[in-house]
């Protein structure tokens, strides 16, 4: 697969994503600058984590208006695959490509740690090849609390759009295993058409065997196999 990785001012996980897709997974990667107004010939788009535009106003609010995002929106609306990680997830929500919003953590603190997440619907690109056991994936965010109003949340649940829920090492879902207070313990969702994906945890940071954890590799490999 040939990926386009969007780089905004303030992106700080772009090289992590490029390294994982290119070096670890062996895919071709095009670097896409936020001011670009045309897309090269690519198969999928990744929006990496970071603090685009310093998170002014709110995370992703300014990045959503970068010239490249008009192309990302067109690409997604044509049914082609797009995913966003952490700040990338926030941008996708701001752009209206994913439902809901990401609010400040209930603790009002930045959280950086490994966190277990439980795959929810096995019939999605991020979950179809990962099995049913909890995955240990790093998180690093201050505004990762997923929220949607009741009608939107019901629609997300009924359509099987939840990708992962926060849990403990044994897969138990409870308030104690919810690091940021996300509604329904949601760690990631997709759109109704299941071609746009977003999650707060960082699979690209758990993809290199030298780090002793490849749970994230399995998520990204699942995505590739789904769309190949």
Alpha-carbon distance 39 to 4, whole Å? 8
Query: pLDDT (tens digit, 9 = 90+) per residue, 99-122?
Result: 999 999 999 999 999 999 999 999
Q: Which of 86, 93, 167, 190 is catalytic?
A: 86
- Taking the complete model, does pTM exceed 0.85, yes or no? yes
* Known active-site residue 204: yes
Nearest residue to 166 (alpha-carbon basis) of 132, 123, 135: 135
Domains, the chain, in order of start with CATH, read 2-227 (3.40.50.880)
Check residue 107 and give its pLDDT. 97
CB 108 within 8 A of CB 179: no
Alpha-carbon distance 208 to 23, whole Å? 10
Q: Which of 34, 143, 190, 202 is catalytic?
A: 202
**pLDDT band at residue 78, thresholds of 50, 70 and 90?**
very high
- Backbone phi, then psi, for 162, in 5-degree steps? -75, 125
CB 8 within 8 A of CB 66: yes
CA 137 to chain centre: 12
The token pair at 170 is: 């044994």
- What beta strand segments (E) does 8-123 contain? 28-33, 44-47, 82-85, 101-103, 111-119
Overall average pLDDT of the 30-56 stretch:
96
Q: State the pairing for strand pair 135-141/145-147.
A: unpaired
Nearest residue to 99 (alpha-carbon basis) of 216, 197, 22: 197
Overall average pLDDT of the 49-75 stretch:
96
Q: Position of tokens 């505004």?
A: 143
Overall average pLDDT of the 123-137 stretch:
97
Check residue 67 and give its pLDDT. 97
* Known active-site residue 202: yes
The token pair at 198 is: 């977003």
- Average pLDDT of the chain is 97
* Known active-site residue 86: yes
- At 163, which helix (H) or strand (E)? strand 162-166
CB 125 within 8 A of CB 197: yes
Check residue 20 and give its pLDDT. 98
């Amino acid at each position: 697969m040939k990926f386009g990785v969007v780089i905004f001012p303030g992106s700080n996980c772009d090289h992590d994503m490029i390294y994982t897709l290119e070096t670890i997974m062996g895919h071709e990667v095009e670097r896409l600058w936020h001011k670009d107004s045309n897309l090269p010939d690519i198969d999928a788009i990744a929006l990496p984590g970071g603090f685009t535009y310093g998170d002014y106003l709110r995370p992703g609010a300014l990045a959503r208006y970068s010239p490249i995002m008009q192309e990302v929106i067109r690409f997604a609306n044509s049914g082609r695959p797009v995913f966003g990680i952490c700040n990338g997830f926030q941008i996708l929500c701001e752009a209206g490509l994913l439902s809901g919003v990401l609010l400040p953590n209930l603790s009002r603190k930045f959280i950086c740690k490994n966190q277990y997440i439980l795959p929810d619907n096995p019939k999605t690109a991020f979950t179809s090849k990962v099995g049913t056991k909890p995955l240990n994936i790093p998180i690093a965010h201050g505004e990762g609390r997923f929220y949607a109003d009741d009608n939107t949340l019901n629609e997300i649940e009924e359509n099987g759009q939840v990708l992962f829920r926060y849990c403990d090492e044994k897969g138990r879902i409870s308030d104690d295993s919810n690091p940021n207070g996300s509604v329904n313990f949601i760690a990631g969702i997709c759109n109704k058409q299941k071609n746009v994906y977003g999650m707060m945890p960082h699979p690209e940071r758990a993809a290199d065997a030298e780090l002793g954890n490849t749970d994230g590799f399995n998520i990204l490999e699942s995505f590739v196999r789904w769309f190949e």
